[in-house]
Amino acid sequence: MTTTADTAADTAATTALVERLFGAVLAALDVQSIHLGDRLGYYRALRDAGPLTSAELAARTATAERYTREWLEQQAVTGLLVATDAAHDPADAAARRFTLPAAHAEPLTDVLSPNHLVPLTRFLAGVGKQMDALVEAYRTGGGVSWAQHGADAREAQAAANRPLFLGPLGREHLPSIPDVDAALRAGGRVADVGCGLGWSAIGIALAYPDATVDGYDLDEPSIEGARRNAAEAGVGDRVRFHLADAATVAGSGEHFDLVAAFECVHDLPDPVGVLAAMRAPRR
């Protein structure tokens, strides 16, 4: 028998879920607008030259003024930007100026800060494009390959991990493992499995000037990007990237002082097989 208390509890649960879903929709809209602002260069322009009117921002970013103004207004309403009305006419939207608060600049524009979470908005935008393919995968038992996700997912994941790999990885985490630290300082060799765009391998090479690193990945665009990144970082002579799977490491007969996989094991279709191949050179 259903009681009044049961009905009240069900109503409260329904209301809570509705509020949760509506909040998630609003958050998703924030994610999309932040990705848009990052991709169009709006945040960086506001950081470097703000406060700006919509026309000034549009001119600096080669975008349409009307759309730029709509984006600015939304960003002000959601609290990411601050809007200041024109003194002579507060109702003049075209004269309104927008400022990126100093406290918001780091999360939105500093690509080397651990607080820079904007790449995650690009990642969500990228994987969201594959929803039709994901629906089909659920029906057939197939999958959606990493290559299929394209540049957004690939580059966003690399950008999200870049601050860690170029900072704490070599300055704090590896030095905290005495045997590894000593080996790398003595010119050891590292195999970086699932290296992606190469920031982990580059970070190790920058932290340990005498070490050499071999990065392995199955994604060709990632390997090409990793090679460019290593050259630009000035470590191309000590960091090599290979379009190959982890089994290549195991079957190469080469010795490595450290075999590592950073931020990728949870994405692998056969993590046990990869981990077994990683362990093989140490036997």
Other C-beta atoms closer than 10 Å to the C-beta of 109 total 20
> Which has the closest alpha carbon to 124: 161, 160, 73?
160
In a domain, 152, yes or no: no
Q: Are 235 and 205 in contact (CB under 8 A)?
A: yes
Total domains in the fold of the chain: 2
Q: Supply the CATH number for residue 94's domain.
A: 1.10.10.10
In a domain, 271, yes or no: yes
- Domain end call among 109, 133, 153: 109
Do 178 and 277 have their domain in common? Answer: yes
In a domain, 96, yes or no: yes
* Residue span of the structural domain in which 9 resides: 4-109
pLDDT one digit per residue (tens) for the chain, 283 residues: 667 777 888 889 999 999 999 999 999 999 999 999 999 999 999 999 989 999 999 999 999 999 999 999 999 999 999 999 876 666 688 889 999 999 999 999 999 999 999 999 999 999 999 999 999 999 999 888 888 888 999 999 999 999 999 999 999 999 999 999 999 999 999 999 999 999 999 999 999 999 999 999 999 999 999 999 999 999 999 999 999 887 666 556 678 999 999 988 887 778 888 888 887 754 4
- 3-state class (DSSP) for residue 254: coil
In a domain, 153, yes or no: no
- Domain end call among 87, 109, 131: 109
DSSP secondary structure letters along 75-95: HHHTTSSEEE--SS-TT-GGG
In a domain, 149, yes or no: no
In a domain, 160, yes or no: no
Per residue in 38-67, is it b (16+ CB within 10 Å) or e — as a string?
bebbbbbbbbeebbbbbebbbebbebeeee
Number of H helices, E strands in the chain: 14, 6
Question: How many angstroms separate the CA atoms of 269 and 177, rounded?
Answer: 29
In a domain, 207, yes or no: yes
Do 174 and 269 have their domain in common? Answer: yes
Do 97 and 177 have their domain in common? Answer: no
Q: Are 214 and 189 in contact (CB under 8 A)?
A: yes
Other C-beta atoms closer than 10 Å to the C-beta of 173 total 17
Q: What is the pTM of this model?
A: 0.85
Do 96 and 172 have their domain in common? Answer: no
Q: Supply the CATH number for residue 198's domain.
A: 3.40.50.150
- Residue partners of 249: CB distance under 8 A and separation at least 6: 191, 193, 214, 216, 256, 259, 277, 278, 280, 281
